[in-house]
Chain A
Amino acid sequence: MRYDCVIIGGGLSGLTCGIRLAETGASVAVISTGMSALHFSSGSIDLFGYNGEGRTVYRPFEFLDEFVGSNPRHPYALCGARQVREALFYFRGQLDLEGIELYNNDESNHFHVTTLGTLKPTFFSQRSVFNEKIRLAFEKKSMIAALNFEGYRDFYPELAVINLRRNVLFRNIEIITGKIVYPDYGDPQRNPFEYRSVDIARIFDTERYLEELAVQIRNAASGAAFAAMPAFLGISNFKRHHKLLQELTGLLIYEIPTLPPSILGMRIDNALKSRFASLGGVYIAGDTVTGGSISGERLESVVTENGGGSALSAGSFVLATGSFFSGGLVSEFSRVREPVLDLKVYSDAERSRWYAPEFFPRRGHPFLEYGVETDERLNPKTGDGRRVKNLYCTGALLPYYNPIKEGSGGGVAVSTGYRAAELILEGNS
C-alpha cells in the first residue's frame, strides 16, 4: 500500500499534520496504537505558560519572539515564532469547521481551572472555559458556585474551592459549593459512584434531562453568576447543550476538566478525526508500527503489527508517537530508546540524572526534555548517525523542551505538526 504520507501517531500533532496535508489533496494515512493523550488533556491548547524562572508568561507571542532567539534547539525555534502563530490559528480554523470554537484572550494568555482548583495559563480554550462573557463576569467579581453531581468521584468541589480561595485572583470573590442529583436515569441498582465523566456526558447527550438539570443547577447555584461544573456537558452535541443550559439557567456554565477520560480533550480528538476523515484521510486505529526500512537517506516503508508482513510505503513519513506516556520513547535501565526505528535520542547516559528527587520540581524533571534529536528541518538521524530526509519528527517526541515546566505541550504539538506538513509540501513543490 502506498500513500503520499504516512503519519505514525494519531494525537494532536499527527492529526494537525494530517489535516494540513490532506487538505492539499495528498493521500495521507495516520496509524495509531490506541487512543491519544488528548483523552487525558485539559482540552485547552497551551502556548507558553511559564518562563525559565517559573513565572507566568502573560503575552506568549511577545515572549516567544525573544525566547526562540536564545533557545535555538527548542521546537518553537525550529518552527520560528511566525509559523507558530500561523499554526495555532490554522488549528483554530480547522476546529471551527467541526463546530468546536476556541477562544483566546487576544494576545494574552488566560487561565483555566484544574480539577484541584489550581490555575493554568493557556492560550486557547473552549467556550465553556473562556470567552468574553466569562472574562467580564470574572472581572466584576461575580459569585461562583462550584457544583458536582452527587456521588461523582472524579471531582471534589470543596477541595477545588480551597485552592481557588488561596489564589490572589479570587480574592474578594464569593465561591460556594453545591450538589445536583442524578435525574432518574438507567438502573437504580447501579451506584452513581460508578459513573465516570463519560457516563454523565452521555446523560447530557440524551437531552432528556436538560430541563430538570437546569432547575437543579439554578437552585444549587443560589444566586451565583457562574455555575462551575466538571466537564461533562456532552460529547457530540456540546455546543447546543451548553447554550441551552445557559439559557435555561440564566447562568454562565463553566467547565472544569476532570480525571480521565477528559470530555474536553475528547471533543478536540473527535473534531480532528472527523475533519481528517472528511478530507479523505485514512485513520488506522489499533495498529502499531513495528519497524521500517531505511535505504540511503530515505525511509522507504514501515511495517505494522496487523499488516501481516505487507509494508506501507510513502513519499514522506511523520513520526508523532509522543513521549514516554504514549510509547514514543521507551526507557530501559540505562538508556532511552525510540522504539520504531531506533533513532538517535537526546538523553543522559546516567540514569540518576533523569529525574529530580521531588515529584513536582520547580525546574522540571530532565527526562521530560529527552527525545529524538532532529535538525532544523525536523529530520532525525538513525542510531548510526545517518540523516533520514523524508522523515519528520513532531510533538512530544521532540527534545529540548519541557511541556510541564513551560506549559507548552499543546502548542508544540500543533506547531511542529503543522511545520512538518509545510516542510513536506515545500519539498513536493
Chain B
Amino acid sequence: MIRLQNISFDHCIKCTVCTVYCPVARATHHFPGPKQSGPDTERLRIKSPELLDESLKYCTNCKRCEIACPSNVKIADIIQSSKWRYFKKSLRPRDFFLAHTDLMGSVATRASLLVNFFIKLPPVKLFLDLFFRIPSERRFPKYARGSFLAWYKKHRAEQEAFAERAVYFPGCYVNYNNHELGKDVVTVLNAMNIGVIVSYEKCCGVPLIANGYIGRARKNALLNINSLAASAAESGARIISASSSCSFALKHEYRNLLELDNSAIFDSLDYITRFIHERFLKGNLPELKPVRLRAAYHSPCHLERMGGVMNTIEVLKKIPGLDLTILHSECCGIAGTYGFKKEYYRVSQKVGAELFKRIERADPQIVITDCETCKWQIEMSTPYRVEHPVTVLARSIDGGKL
C-alpha cells in the first residue's frame, strides 16, 4: 500500500544530482547513491519487499542529498524509513548499546573513572573489536561523573529567578559526557539576562532511529514533546538545544520520520545559535572579551539541512580576536553511531578524509563545530581540539582560557 503522504519519490526526475553530493557514494562504490537507494528502488520495495537491496544500509542519513535535490524529494527520509520497514531489527548487543545512549549514560556516569579507564585499555578494545565489532581504532567520548541534571538541580532556583527564561534540552552528551558545555550554555544565557530551565526527559532519539529502534524512539519523542511543551508553556519561553542533531530530530525527524505531531514545540524550538543571534541583533549583546585564537569552523550536516549555519557564523564573528576560517562544507563521516561500527568504519573515515585535509590546511589552534559526534570524529582523526561555538562564546564572556 502506498501511503499518500510519502510519495515525494514521484517528484524525482532522475537527475542524479543527489548522488553527486552524497559523501558515502563518493567514498565507496558499495553504496549506489541516494537516487538509486531512495526514490528509484522505493517503487520496487512498495511492489515487493523482496526487492530490497542491502546496500541502502550504507546511508548515514546525513541529509546532504535533500539539500542538493532540486525537486524537493525527501530522499534520506525515504531511505531511512525503508531501513526499518524492511530490515529485521538488529539483535546485535552492540547496536542496542550504541542506540540506548541514556541507559548507557546513566550506568556509566556512576562509575565514570572506571569506565573511562577500561574503555581505553588495548585488551578491552580488542575484545570490543572481536566480539562487538566496534573498531579498536575508534575512540570513545569520556563519561562525566554524575549527570548534568544533578548539577542543574543545585542551581535551579537562581535560574528561575530570571525574568526571561529559555527551556534548554541538554541531550545525552551534555547530561552524561560534557557537563561543561551545559554550564557554558548557562553562562552565555545568564550573561544575556536569560535564565535556563533545563527540561530533559529522554534521549532525542537520533541513535535509536539510526539503529532501527523505532518503537523506543517514538516513546522517547512523545515524552520529550510533552515535557518540553509543558516547560515552555509554564514560562512562555523558547526551547533551545545546543546539539545540532538533537535540534534536528526534535524539529524535523519527529515530524517527518516518526510521523508524530510535534506542533506543540515546533515553532518555539531553536538551535541555540539562532536564539542567541536573534537576541544579539536586537541589541542584547553581552560584553565580550578578546579571545586570541585562530579557529576553523566546520558546519555539521544536520545544521546545514536545518538551516542556521549562518547564525553560528554570525555569532562567532562577534567574538573579538577570533580569527575564523570557514571550512568548505563537508561531512565528517561519523554520522552518530555509524562510525562506531566495524563494517562502516573505513567508509566513515574515508568520508571524513576531505574535511580532515582541509582542517590541516587551515592549521587552526582549535576547530569549532556545533555537533558532538563531529567533535569526536575530528578529535580522533586530526591533531586538533574541537569546541562548541557556545563554549567559545562563554570563554569570551567569562575571560576563561580556551
Chain A interfacial positions (CB closer than 8 Å to B): 1-2, 29, 33-37, 39-40, 185-187, 190, 194, 196, 198-199, 202, 260-261, 266, 277, 282, 284-288, 304-310, 326-327
CB atoms of B68 and A266 under 8 A apart: no
Q: Which of B163-171, B203-211, B306-314 contacts A (4 or more CB under 8 A)?
A: B306-314
Q: Which residues of B contact A306 (CB under 8 A)?
A: 306-308
Chain B interfacial positions (CB closer than 8 Å to A): 15-17, 19-21, 25-26, 28-30, 32, 36, 66-72, 267, 270, 274, 277-278, 281, 304-311, 313-314, 326, 328-329
Q: Which residues of A contact B274 (CB under 8 A)?
A: 308, 310
A85 to B306, CA, bound (A): 40
Shortest A203–chain B CB gap in Å is 10
Q: Which residues of A contact B306 (CB under 8 A)?
A: 306
Shortest B175–chain A CB gap in Å is 25
CB atoms of B17 and A39 under 8 A apart: yes
Q: Which residues of B contact A29 (CB under 8 A)?
A: 310
Shortest B55–chain A CB gap in Å is 9
Q: Which residues of B contact A40 (CB under 8 A)?
A: 15
CB atoms of B267 and A34 under 8 A apart: no
CB atoms of B17 and A35 under 8 A apart: yes
CB atoms of A308 and B305 under 8 A apart: no
A260 to B313, CA, bound (A): 33
If A29-B310, A190-B29, A284-B310 touch, whether A198 touches B19 (CB-CB below 8 Å) is yes
A261 to B25, CA, bound (A): 14
Shortest B26–chain A CB gap in Å is 7
A308 to B26, CA, bound (A): 32
* Residue from B26, B67, B306, B314 having most chain A Cβ neighbours under 10 A: B67
A185 to B30, CA, bound (A): 12
A309 to B309, CA, bound (A): 16
CB atoms of A196 and B16 under 8 A apart: yes
24 contacts between A and B (CB under 8 A): A1-B281, A1-B314, A29-B310, A33-B72, A34-B72, A35-B69, A37-B70, A39-B17, A187-B29, A187-B30, A198-B16, A198-B20, A199-B25, A261-B19, A282-B310, A284-B307, A285-B67, A285-B68, A286-B66, A286-B68, A286-B305, A308-B267, A326-B70, A327-B70
> Apart from A1-B310, A34-B71, what 10 extra A-B contacts exist at CB < 8 Å?
A1-B281, A1-B311, A35-B21, A35-B70, A39-B20, A194-B32, A202-B26, A285-B68, A306-B308, A326-B70
A305 to B277, CA, bound (A): 18
Q: Which residues of A contact B267 (CB under 8 A)?
A: 308-309
Closest 10 CB pairs of A and B: A306-B307, A286-B67, A34-B70, A186-B29, A260-B15, A35-B17, A35-B68, A34-B69, A198-B20, A261-B20
A326 to B309, CA, bound (A): 24
Nearest B residue to A31, CB-CB: B307
If A282-B310, A286-B305 touch, whether A310 touches B278 (CB-CB below 8 Å) is yes
Q: Which residues of A contact B310 (CB under 8 A)?
A: 1, 29, 282, 284
Shortest B32–chain A CB gap in Å is 6
Q: Which residues of B contact A286 (CB under 8 A)?
A: 66-68, 304-305, 307
